[in-house]
Amino acid sequence: MSKKDIGIKILVEVSRVILEATFIFSGFVKAVDPYGTAYKIGDYFAAFNLSTLSFLSFPLSALQSIAEFAIGACLLFGLYRKWNSRLILAVMVFMTVLTLYLAIANPVEDCGCFGDALVITNWQTFYKNIILLVCSIIVFRYCERMSNFFTGKTYWLAFLYIFVFISLFVFRNYIYEPLFDFRPYKTGADISGLMGVEEGKGREEKSMLVYAKDGVEKEFTEENYPWEDSTWVFVRMKTKVLNEGEKSPIKDFVITELAFDTKKTEIIARNDITSDILSDSSYVFLMLSSSLEDMNMSYLSNFEDVNNYANYNGYKFYCVTSSTTDEIVNWSKENVINFKFCTMDERAIKTVVRSNPGMILLKNGVVVNKWANIEVPAEEDLKKPLEELPYGQPVDTERQDRKNLFYLCATFILPLLCFKGLDFLLFRKRKKEGDVSTGSKE
């Protein structure tokens, strides 16, 4: 092999690694949190005045995560190299053009290409796509030089497993809370601490005074403005940003309790209880619903059981929703449920939990536990105070994540290794048959 061929081979494999790592990671984090990607797609529809297509947000989210992961995995194992390289090039041409427009117009604050796992700006996304586009051109041009892990006889079997694996993983995270939580409200998070920014690291601003003289405007600080010179006329005050600084991970976590009249037909008062909830040294259950009208009612009885359990043991329980007050009144009438209702920003609720409804358990402002509606403890699981139950105990999330990642990788890799073993046996069998056939001819 010549030096030129070796150089091309190295260039192709490096480009391949960059592409496969990006596509697999991007597809995986989207599959971890398909609702989060769906909300981002919904933001794009709203930005482009296509809100009527919002019903497609989740199907497109699932399709995107499955496609990206499958493309990356096929690249990793060298499956269908020619067609996969063509698809990657087409995707990168489209995405590069799209992200250039997004970077210039900035209709949505961040692209959401890596979900909550890695938030990057629109310009950073465009620069990333330029690199990936170059890599995709190289892979497309020299696709036959990529090494492959399987022979053509087992391509379809490996691809089928990859597709089934990622599809089931998306479905799992559709039903339950994400297996890996990249949001600021994950189990173990201190909400109070995440609502602020360390002193000296926040946004720095300075007030500027604009004065005019002879038709020319000039900016002054509060220390040097021409207060003694009457020829200068004050025009306006403006705020100049010196440093954007860090932003607090948690925003809009404000809980407002609603007080009903005696007949529960009208809301007569509102009270901000955010600080009370976050400073409560006992347990606090928050049932969260972005919309009461769109709520999945299948597991509502479990939430009622938890409410009764909380009342019996002296814990607080609130139903927190972003529905309007009229919707809250009508829903509580129709379902005859004795919940204490609160309101909170819809986006904040959708960030805390993905299912509608979902529930979190707080103590001293720390997330002790969280559940999707299907996971909420039933009455038979709540026979003791929380201090004596696993639900009320802190969880080592890092250890749990490592464990989950190990099992997930094993589930993905081991069957593919078995297919490789089958592939090897079939290859040896064909080789022996070929040797026998050649020997008989001789």
Q: Are 22 and 150 in the same domain?
A: yes
Residue 348 lies in a domain: yes
pLDDT, residue 334, reads: 86
Reported pTM = 0.84
CA distances from 353 to 28, 35, 36, 250 (A): 19, 10, 10, 14
Give the model's confidence band at 442: pLDDT under 50 very low, under 70 low, under 90 confident, else very high: very low
| Arithmetic mean of pLDDT over the chain | 87
16: Cβ contacts below 8 Å, ≥ 6 apart: 75, 135, 139, 146
Q: Are 266 and 157 in the same domain?
A: no
The predicted-structure confidence for 349-403, as pLDDT tens digits, reads as follows: 999 999 999 999 999 999 999 999 999 998 888 999 999 999 999 888 899 999 9
Q: Are 15 and 150 in the same domain?
A: yes
**For the chain, how long is the longest CA-to-CA vector?**
113
The Cα 85–Cα 91 span in angstroms is 10
The Cα 217–Cα 232 span in angstroms is 9
Is beta strand 256-260 parallel, antiparallel or unpaired with respect to 341-343?
antiparallel
DSSP notation for 387-412: GGSGGGS---HHHHHHHHHHHHHHHH
pLDDT, residue 238, reads: 80
Q: Are 60 and 170 in the same domain?
A: yes
Q: Are 267 and 389 in the same domain?
A: yes
By mean pLDDT, which of 87-96, 126-135, 253-262, 275-284 is the weakest?
Answer: 253-262
pLDDT, residue 262, reads: 78
Averaged pLDDT for residues 166-194: 93
Strand partners, 366: 190, 363
Q: Are 260 and 117 in the same domain?
A: no
DSSP notation for 419-439: HHHHHHHHHHHHHHHHHHHHH
Residue 198 lies in a domain: no
Element (H, E) at 361: strand 358-363
Inform me whether the pLDDT recorded for 433 exceeds 70: no
Residue 431 lies in a domain: no
- Domain termination residue (choose one: 187, 215, 243): 243
Q: Are 302 and 215 in the same domain?
A: no
pLDDT, residue 199, reads: 59
Averaged pLDDT for residues 96-123: 86
Q: Are 152 and 225 in the same domain?
A: no
Give the model's confidence band at 5: pLDDT under 50 very low, under 70 low, under 90 confident, else very high: confident
DSSP notation for 288-345: EES-STT--GGGHHHHHHHHHHHHHHT-EEEEEE-S-HHHHHHHHHHHT--PPEEE--
Give the model's confidence band at 143: pLDDT under 50 very low, under 70 low, under 90 confident, else very high: confident
Averaged pLDDT for residues 320-341: 88
- Number of domains within the chain: 3
Q: Are 237 and 152 in the same domain?
A: no
The CB-based long-range contact list for 254-259 (8 Å cut-off, 24+ gap) reads 254/344, 254/345, 254/348, 255/286, 255/318, 255/320, 255/342, 255/343, 255/344, 256/342, 256/343, 256/344, 257/318, 257/340, 257/341, 257/342, 258/325, 258/328, 258/341, 258/342, 258/343
Q: Are 140 and 279 in the same domain?
A: no
Contact criterion met (CB below 8 Å) for 321 and 401: no
In this structure, what CATH number is given to the domain that contains residue 382?
A: 3.40.30.10
Residue 104 lies in a domain: yes
Residue 99 lies in a domain: yes
Give the model's confidence band at 261: pLDDT under 50 very low, under 70 low, under 90 confident, else very high: confident
Element (H, E) at 57: helix 57-77
Give the model's confidence band at 439: pLDDT under 50 very low, under 70 low, under 90 confident, else very high: very low
Q: Are 67 and 163 in the same domain?
A: yes
Inform me whether the pLDDT recorded for 203 exceeds 70: no
Residue 287 lies in a domain: yes
Averaged pLDDT for residues 220-247: 77
Give the model's confidence band at 306: pLDDT under 50 very low, under 70 low, under 90 confident, else very high: very high
pLDDT, residue 28, reads: 96
pLDDT, residue 438, reads: 46
pLDDT, residue 440, reads: 44
Spell out where 170-255 has E strands: 204-213, 216-220, 233-243
Residue 422 lies in a domain: no
Inform me whether the pLDDT recorded for 311 exceeds 60: yes
pLDDT, residue 372, reads: 94
- Which residue's entry shows tokens 């000039």? 218
pLDDT, residue 436, reads: 44
pLDDT, residue 250, reads: 86
Averaged pLDDT for residues 424-428: 67
Inform me whether the pLDDT recorded for 441 exceeds 60: no
Residue 54: give the domain boundaries: 3-175
The Cα 22–Cα 30 span in angstroms is 12
Q: Are 297 and 170 in the same domain?
A: no
Residue 383 lies in a domain: yes
Give the model's confidence band at 434: pLDDT under 50 very low, under 70 low, under 90 confident, else very high: low
By mean pLDDT, which of 62-66, 372-376, 435-439 is the weakest?
Answer: 435-439
Inform me whether the pLDDT recorded for 1 exceeds 80: no
**What does the H/E/C string look like for 76-114?**
HHCCCHHHHHHHHHHHHHHHHHHHHHHHHHCCCCECCCC
